[in-house]
Amino acid sequence: MGRDGRGVKAASDSSIEISFMYQGVRCRERIPLKPTTPNLKRAEQHRAAVLDAIHRGIFDYATTFPNSTKAASFANRPGDVETVEAYLERWIKRKSAELKASTLLGYKKIVHRLLIPKFGDWKLSALKRRDVREWLETIDEDKKVKLSNKRLANIQSVLSSALSDAADDELIDVNPLTGWRYQRKEAPRPDDEIDPFDPKEQAAIYAACRDEGDRNMFTTFMWTGLRTSELIALDWDRDIDFARDEIRITQVNTRAAKGQAENTKTVAGRRVIKMLPPVKAALLSQKAITLLRGQAVFINAGTGTRWTGDNQIWKIWQTIIKKAKVRYRNPYQTRHTFASMMLSAGEHPMWVAKQMGHKDWTMIARIYGKWMPSADPDAGSKAVAQFSTGNERESAI
């Protein structure tokens, strides 16, 4: 038993024993001090420092107790020696060969701005689920900003991916975050997050465009639901097929990629979409503007070159919206506008999903459900005509 239950006791006339838990093991170590009252107090302070180092993930058994026979049993894995910072730096460098530029940029921000400042000097094997949970519970206070569950999930996803690779590399026994995710209670998202432009607003936007090129571009946005990264990557020869009235979405162009085309984020994102009449008219008009200037369908009129990121589109968009005197919404609402127009007109949700690059229509139903017709007066009549025998009521009686 320790002194007053504090994990400290006299072991002999010339030594004091302190006890503590480390990696699930009860450890006892002797300090060469006479067990006087002042020395017992010093031993308590030493034990408190050990517990703090263990909690912070920076405890080094061999350095703290160099003469201990137990230290060797806790230093048989690289993860017991390597810090979180050293591992994450190696890991993010390796991921640079696997991830798209935009995804890699997001990973780097999480690693360098959040994970390393918090856990960088911890030993890799010391990082436990409770440490991550306690940090996420207080991260708002650290960042002075309210983080959404989506942002918290992104942070955990990056850390969990790194720890899974560390386990695969046998640096740690298991990934402590496997099968677990921290999230907070959140109020329902406001309905106006999806805020499409009505026909009058669309007309005002087109009228406020600087030139025919901008008008063609925003018409294509409204009537395809393309993401900005998809639209600015379109090439005439590769992606536009007027004979079949089709547009092939094969690559994306993000700001993080610095003008270099990349593969789409998902398999569903690589698709062929229908060129609706408003889009065909816009592209035929655009053909006269850019076809002889290179492969890019849409270009920055100021530079004469392909757009390199959504930030450039946003600057023009803000000017156009202000001139059109339309209540401001971000350019992504053009994608919502396409979905709401198609669904309100009764187009099949699965077709809309494929046009927009979703692998199935569950997201379409969840996000845009209120635009889907729900009161067709003839609903069910086709099934009755095909399958009813006319005897159902008699059978029920």
End-to-end CA distance of the chain: 81
pTM recorded for the entire structure: 0.57
Radius of gyration of the chain (CA): 31
Mean pLDDT by 10 residues, the chain (397 residues): 71 92 86 92 93 83 84 67 90 88 87 94 89 88 69 93 91 89 72 80 94 94 92 93 94 63 62 94 95 90 84 91 95 92 87 88 76 57 54 43
- Tokens 């009505």 locate to 198
Q: Is 92 exposed, middle or buried (0-12, 13-18, 19+ CB in 10 A)?
A: buried
Domain ranges in the chain with CATH number 1.10.443.10: 197-371
* Alpha-carbon gap, residue 39 to 15, rounded angstroms: 10
Q: What is the pLDDT of residue 79?
A: 62
Enumerate residues 6+ apart whose C-beta is below 8 A from 3. 9, 10, 40, 44
**Which structure tokens are listed for 163?**
């720890």
Per-residue DSSP letter, 220: H
Q: Is 72 exposed, middle or buried (0-12, 13-18, 19+ CB in 10 A)?
A: exposed
CA distances from residue 327 to 103, 202, 204, 302, 318 in whole angstroms, order as listed: 31, 12, 11, 26, 11
Contact 237, 295 (CB under 8 A): yes
**Which structure tokens are listed for 294?**
């290179």
Q: What is the pLDDT of residue 30?
A: 92
Q: What is the pLDDT of residue 396?
A: 38
Domain ranges in the chain with CATH number 1.10.150: 84-168
Q: Is 315 exposed, middle or buried (0-12, 13-18, 19+ CB in 10 A)?
A: exposed
**Enclosing H/E stretch for 178:** none
**Greatest alpha-carbon span in the chain:** 101
- Give the total residue count for the chain: 397
CA distances from residue 83 to 6, 56, 115, 311 in whole angstroms, order as listed: 30, 12, 12, 37
**Enclosing H/E stretch for 25:** strand 25-31
**Which structure tokens are listed for 111?**
């690693």
Q: Is 23 exposed, middle or buried (0-12, 13-18, 19+ CB in 10 A)?
A: middle
Q: Which fold has domain 197-371?
A: hpI Integrase; Chain A (1.10.443)
CA quadruple 158, 161, 166, 169: dihedral sign: negative
Q: Which fold has domain 84-168?
A: DNA polymerase; domain 1 (1.10.150)
* Alpha-carbon gap, residue 9 to 35, rounded angstroms: 8
CA quadruple 313, 315, 321, 323: dihedral sign: negative
Per-residue DSSP letter, 293: G
